[in-house]
Each structure stands twice: as C-alpha cells, then as structure tokens.
C-alpha cells in the first residue's frame, strides 16, 4: 500500500500566479438559462475564474510563480538541484516542459528537470516526488512547479465543465530541514479511467472526426480533443474514497483530526467539499476555499488555495492536511508540518 513517510524535508516557500483575465459565471446566459445561473453558481461555488490569453501557456504562469518565489526568498538559481513540472496541459507533447523552464529560469544544466502528469490529485503525488528527491544525500533543494491551463482543453459550450475550470500555476520549494515527519497516502483505480478523459490522441488516433464538436446525451458539447467529465462518476468516487482516506491518515499518524490546523481540499466544487467537511465533522473555519474566485484549477488548486487563503495565517508548527482527487482515477492525502515557510501573495500575469 502506498503510504510513504519522509523525515527532515519540508516546504520552505510557496507562490502562485493567475491570469489577469476574469470570467464571471453570471455572464453564461448563452450556455445556461438565465433563471438557472445563480443556482449553478451556488451549487459549484464558482463566482468567477481566471482564464489565460490564447498565447499564454501553463509554463508562462509557472515561470512567473517561480520567479516570485526566487526573488521573495533570495534563492540562488544555482542552488536548485531538481525541477519538477506537474501539468496536464504542458506546452508541447514533445519536448517536456521542465527543461524549457530550467533554461528560462537560468538554472544550471546540472539540474534534474522532469515533467509529471496526473489529474486533479497531481500536486499531492508531485509533492511526494519532490520530498523523495529532497531526501537523497546529494539533493538539497527541489523546485516543484504546477501549472494548468484547462481553458485550452475545455469546450466553451460544455455546460458541465466550462463554468467550473480556471487557469493557474504555483511554485513550491522543498528543502531539507527540521520539519519532522511527513506522511503521504497515494492511491489509484484505473477502472474509472473514462470518468475524466480526452479520448483522442494516442489510443484513439487523431482524425478529422476528432475536431468535430458533438453533443452527448446530457446535451454537453465537446470534441475528441477536449476534456470530457462524467460529473456523477467523479462525485460518487470522491464521496467513497476521500473522507475514508483522510480518516486513514489520522489513524496511521496517530494524530486526531481535531488536531489538524488546516484541511485543504482540491477545489472540485463547493457542494462536494462541504459534504466532506460535514461527513468528517471537521471545523469549517479551518477549511480554506478559493474556488469562488479561481474555479477548479485542477492539479494547482491545493497549493493555490494555500497561497491565496493561508499566506498570512499559517504558523510554525501548523499541521496541514491536503487532499487531491480526480482523473485516473487517482487520489492522495498528505500531512505535513509547516516550519519557517514563506508564502507569497498571489500575482497576476
């Protein structure tokens, strides 16, 4: 079972960057009947989202977040040993984006630079990877960049997905230090692969038909090159797995849930996360949200929530539990102790 423990590595700094472009869900009258718009906003909890300009990629947002972190913390780029880039919307299919960011950030050619790809659970898995590298004897600093521009792969006539997703990127610096123990529980279930999927590309080769927009049985419109999500399948999966795994984390660490200072969920939708909180009987005041202003930013949503909502609230010694879940299907929960962590303000690009 993928329960992983790390000692004496932790998060030293975090930052985030979002696009300047603001899309208001109240303006979706072309997609949703006017009388249903407010109900939709209330259910998913998304009032507005940040959408990148067509020429802006996930790496552009990640670069800005990384530079903010480097400048705010006086980091020597030469001191970064590993650069990880987590994304489902990388700049190219080939080459990987991490080496491009290595060059752009002025990191040494000795830097290990590697892409990672997973669903909305991606940050938890990538953070575990960063901790693993930082635990090695000759690695001291790992820069984890997480960027998503889902606006490029969601059809704007898809009434399920378009009101939900936004774009963002984050930077997280992982170092050796006196952080105590961190624990990760990482799980996957490939039987749910069709719940969130872009169907055409490799297994199903791209053809002219891949570009044709089609309406499914729910009235949603997308092409074979755009993301499809079965909302009910994802909802049922999350309800079954996420609260159970959070309770499991409490059991394996021996730390009662009421002793957790902050519980940070992937910002899937407000109704779902509110249900988690109620089921866990957790203090709502210690569950931060940013979905109302940024939407579901996929793998970036957990660190974006920390940066946007907790930059001036996290104290040394705070125990932060993070939970991500999504395509794969995959889900992960982590428990880390924050110590001398500099969290920057969200910037725009």
Active site residues: 120, 266, 296
Phi, psi of 9 (to 5 degrees): -135, 150
> 199: which DSSP letter?
-
Task: Report the alpha-carbon distance of residue 101 to residue 103 in Å, rounded.
Answer: 5
Task: Report the alpha-carbon distance of residue 68 to residue 54 in Å, rounded.
Answer: 23
Task: Report the alpha-carbon distance of residue 254 to residue 306 in Å, rounded.
Answer: 24
Total number of residues shown for the chain: 349
DSSP string, 300-316: GHHHHHHHHHHTTT--T
Q: How far from the centroid of its chain's Cα atoms is residue 199's Cα? A: 22
Which SS3 state, helix, strand or coil, does residue 12 take? strand
Task: Report the alpha-carbon distance of residue 343 to residue 68 in Å, rounded.
Answer: 10
238: its two tokens: 């999350």
| Residue 10 near residue 182 (C-beta atoms within 8 A) | yes
| Residue 158 near residue 151 (C-beta atoms within 8 A) | no
How close are the terminal C-alpha atoms of the chain, in Å? 41
Q: Give the burial string for 124-143 (b: 16+ CB within 10 Å, else e).
A: bbbbbbbbbbbeeeebbbbb
Task: Report the alpha-carbon distance of residue 34 to residue 213 in Å, rounded.
Answer: 24
Strand partners of residue 302 = none
């Amino acid at each position: 079972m993928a329960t992983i423990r790390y000692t004496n590595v932790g998060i030293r700094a975090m930052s985030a960057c979002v696009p300047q472009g603001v899309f208001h869900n109240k303006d979706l009258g072309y997609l949703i009947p006017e009388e249903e718009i407010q109900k939709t906003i209330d259910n998913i909890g998304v009032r507005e989202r940040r959408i990148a300009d067509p020429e802006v990629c996930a790496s552009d947002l990640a670069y800005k977040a990384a530079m903010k972190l480097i400048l705010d913390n006086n980091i020597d780029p030469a001191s970064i040993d590993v650069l990880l880039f987590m994304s489902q919307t990388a700049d190219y299919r080939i080459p990987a984006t991490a080496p491009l960011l290595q060059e752009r950030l002025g990191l040494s050619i000795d830097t290990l630079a590697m892409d990672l790809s997973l669903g909305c659970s991606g940050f938890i898995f990538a953070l575990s990877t960063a901790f693993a590298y930082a635990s090695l004897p000759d690695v001291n600093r790992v820069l984890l960049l997480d960027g998503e521009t889902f606006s490029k792969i969601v059809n704007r006539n898809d009434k399920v997905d378009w009101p939900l997703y936004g774009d963002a990127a984050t930077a997280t610096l992982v170092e050796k230090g006196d952080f105590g123990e961190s624990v990760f529980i990482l799980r996957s279930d490939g039987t749910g692969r069709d719940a969130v999927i872009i169907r055409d590309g490799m297994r199903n080769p791209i053809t002219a038909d891949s570009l044709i927009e089609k309406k499914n049985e729910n009235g949603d419109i997308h092409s074979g090159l755009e993301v499809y999500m079965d909302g009910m399948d994802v909802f049922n999966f999350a309800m079954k797995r996420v609260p159970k795994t959070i309770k499991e984390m409490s059991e394996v660490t021996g730390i009662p849930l009421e002793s957790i200072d902050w519980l940070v969920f992937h910002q899937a939708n407000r109704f779902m996360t509110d249900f988690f909180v109620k089921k866990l009987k957790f203090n709502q005041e210690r569950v931060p949200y940013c979905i109302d202003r940024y939407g579901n930013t996929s793998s970036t949503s957990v660190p974006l929530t920390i940066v946007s909502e907790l930059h001036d609230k996290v104290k040394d010694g705070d125990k932060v539990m993070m939970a991500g879940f999504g395509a794969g299907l995959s889900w992960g929960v982590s428990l880390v102790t924050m110590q001398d962590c500099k969290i920057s303000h969200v910037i725009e690009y």
